[in-house]
């Protein structure tokens, strides 16, 4: 006889796991999480872990703020490290247009309860000497942003769901087919058939589109290559804090990593990657092309040895905003638009609300619902990597 659940979640990444956790907090019924490999296998454990409430839209700001609080709260609840390091975050403006756009966002963030300020180059030099501030018109600084160590994020939220009696985490469990059955769904997996009232598609960059297609639903979640390198040391450690920094126009960011630094970048010329692979080849030609750029922006990185380099599939949506929706009765879709570490806990919170109560409060519908991709788009997250256009 098929096992029966209130909800089957496809994908045990940051999004699926946090949704299950929030549902358990609400006293929701039995939930199965089906993961074709193991919890955290996908983009989640390959990410850079940059966490910011310094977003470019109301949704981005709120999800960022809730998420960084939730990471810390979960660590305390489990009696473990949260994996979160508060460092502060500078997003650097190189042009007049960027300066204007960044300054325009200051009030929105304050209204959403996020402290942020404009910092001019003279003040920037005084506070954070690793950046060549002469190249910039200034930056917006958020003191409470920082980064997480992705393996600890995966460990904590996996441990949290394993503690819940109402949740079954089914690993090595590939979902191959979903069919409507009565008032719910029948989910065919490599571990048998599951009967369920509802299904959540949290398949991430390498699953969201295919899982939705099982019910003939189109979900615009694509995947592109994103690249990371780490340096075991930097030329000169900054005198005070070592905050995160992001040169938006170049699509390059830097954060501390133990005694050294981590640098992430996306090539704006990249196209969507249809290979269905998470692990992709590191583009050393692009690396060499961009090296003079990052060495000029962050001079203490110049000539430093590299300890690790990797490239992996990152998810994106056409407007860089998330998807929290129910495109078919009882079939839900959750996607992070490439921000699943900084938004994952908050996205899980809001998806749990939609599943349990049928509504999402506190976020503008036009920034989260699938319908926005059918009409003229009003919003876009202004602070995002240079993902492919569509």
Ligand X SMILES: Cc1cc2nc3c(=O)[nH]c(=O)nc-3n(C[C@H](O)[C@H](O)[C@H](O)COP(=O)(O)OP(=O)(O)OC[C@H]3O[C@@H](n4cnc5c(N)ncnc54)[C@H](O)[C@@H]3O)c2cc1C
SS3 385: coil
User: Is position 323 an interface residue for ligand X (rule: CB under 6 A)?
Assistant: no
User: Is position 348 an interface residue for ligand X (rule: CB under 6 A)?
Assistant: no
Query: At its nearest, how many Å lie between ligand X and the CB of residue 20?
Result: 11
Per CB under 6 A, the segment of 38-46, 55-63, 124-132, 242-250 that binds ligand X is 38-46
User: Is position 152 an interface residue for ligand X (rule: CB under 6 A)?
Assistant: no
User: Is position 312 an interface residue for ligand X (rule: CB under 6 A)?
Assistant: yes
Which is closer to ligand X, CB of 138 or CB of 223? 223
Query: At its nearest, how many Å lie between ligand X and the CB of residue 190?
Result: 9
CA distance 172 to 98: 46
User: Is position 146 an interface residue for ligand X (rule: CB under 6 A)?
Assistant: no
What single DSSP character describes residue 298?
A: S
- Report helix, strand and coil shares of the chain as percent, to nearest 5: 30, 30, 40
From residue 95, how far is each of 127, 136, 299 by CA, in Å? 21, 7, 20
Binder of ligand X out of 7, 8, 9, 11 (CB under 6 A): 11
User: Is position 121 an interface residue for ligand X (rule: CB under 6 A)?
Assistant: no
Per CB under 6 A, the segment of 269-277, 333-341, 360-368, 376-384 that binds ligand X is 333-341
CA 111 to chain centre: 23
Binder of ligand X out of 92, 254, 314, 368 (CB under 6 A): 314
Binder of ligand X out of 83, 184, 204, 256 (CB under 6 A): 204
User: Is position 35 an interface residue for ligand X (rule: CB under 6 A)?
Assistant: yes
- Owner of token pair 């960022």: 64
User: Is position 381 an interface residue for ligand X (rule: CB under 6 A)?
Assistant: no
Encoded tokens for 388: 């492919």
Binder of ligand X out of 322, 338, 346, 348 (CB under 6 A): 338
Which is closer to ligand X, CB of 124 or CB of 203? 203
Give CA torsion, residues 344, 110, 57, 263, to 10 deg.
-60
Per CB under 6 A, the segment of 11-19, 53-61, 287-295, 369-377 that binds ligand X is 11-19
Binder of ligand X out of 9, 31, 50, 194 (CB under 6 A): 50
Alpha helix positions (H), 142-283:
150-162, 208-213
Binder of ligand X out of 36, 144, 350, 372 (CB under 6 A): 36
Query: At its nearest, how many Å lie between ligand X and the CB of residue 239?
Result: 25
Binder of ligand X out of 8, 14, 102, 267 (CB under 6 A): 14
User: Is position 169 an interface residue for ligand X (rule: CB under 6 A)?
Assistant: no
CA distance 238 to 242: 6
Which is closer to ligand X, CB of 109 or CB of 339? 339
Query: At its nearest, how many Å lie between ligand X and the CB of residue 63?
Result: 10
CA distance 251 to 208: 25
User: Is position 203 an interface residue for ligand X (rule: CB under 6 A)?
Assistant: yes
Element (DSSP H or E) covering residue 88:
none
CA distance 188 to 200: 14
DSSP annotation string for 249-265: TTTEEEEEETTEEEEEE
CA distance 350 to 388: 27
Report the site for ligand X in 242-281 (rule: CB under 6 A). 264
List, in order, residues 6 or more apart from 6 with CB less than 8 Å away: 28, 29, 30, 31, 196, 197, 198
Crossing angle for the helix pair 340-357 and 14-25, to the nearest 10 degrees:
40
Binding site for ligand X (CB under 6 A): 10-16, 34-37, 41-44, 46-50, 174-175, 202-207, 211, 226, 228, 264, 312-315, 336, 338-342
């Amino acid at each position: 006889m098929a096992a029966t659940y209130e909800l089957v979640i496809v994908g045990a990444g940051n999004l699926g796991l946090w949704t299950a956790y929030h549902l358990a907090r609400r006293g929701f019924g039995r939930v199965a999480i089906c993961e074709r490999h193991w919890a955290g296998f996908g983009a989640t454990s390959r990410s850079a872990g940059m966490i910011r409430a310094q977003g470019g839209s109301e949704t981005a700001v709120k999800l960022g703020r809730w998420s960084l609080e939730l990471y810390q709260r979960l660590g305390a609840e489990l009696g473990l490290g949260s994996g979160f390091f508060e460092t502060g975050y500078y997003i650097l403006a190189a042009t007049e247009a960027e300066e204007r756009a960044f300054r325009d966002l200051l009030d929105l963030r304050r209204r959403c309860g996020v402290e942020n300020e404009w910092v001019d180059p003279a003040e920037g030099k005084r506070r954070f000497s690793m950046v060549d501030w002469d190249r910039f018109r200034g930056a917006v600084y958020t003191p409470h942003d920082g980064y997480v160590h992705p393996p600890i994020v995966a460990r904590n939220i996996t441990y949290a769901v394993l503690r819940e009696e109402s949740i079954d985490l089914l690993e090595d469990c590939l979902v191959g087919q979903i069919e409507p059955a009565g008032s719910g769904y029948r989910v065919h997996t490599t571990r048998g058939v599951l009967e369920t009232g509802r299904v959540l598609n949290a398949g991430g960059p390498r699953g969201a589109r295919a899982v939705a297609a099982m019910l003939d639903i189109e979900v615009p979640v694509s995947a592109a290559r994103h690249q990371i390198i780490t340096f075991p040391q930097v030329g000169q450690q900054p005198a005070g804090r070592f905050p995160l920094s992001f040169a938006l126009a170049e699509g390059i960011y830097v954060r501390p990593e133990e005694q050294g630094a981590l640098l992430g970048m996306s090539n704006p010329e990249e196209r969507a990657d249809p290979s269905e692979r998470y692990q992709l080849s590191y583009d050393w030609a692009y690396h060499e092309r961009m090296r003079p750029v990052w060495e000029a922006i962050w001079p203490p990185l110049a000539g430093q040895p590299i300890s690790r380099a990797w490239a992996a599939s990152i998810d994106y949506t056409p407007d860089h905003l998330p998807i929290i929706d129910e495109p078919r009765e009882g079939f839900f879709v959750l996607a992070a638009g490439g921000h699943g570490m900084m938004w994952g806990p908050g996205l899980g919170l809001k998806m749990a609300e939609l599943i349990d109560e049928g509504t999402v409060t506190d976020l503008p519908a036009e920034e989260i619902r699938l319908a926005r991709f059918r009409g003229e788009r009003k919003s876009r997250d202004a602070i995002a990597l240079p993902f492919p256009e569509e």
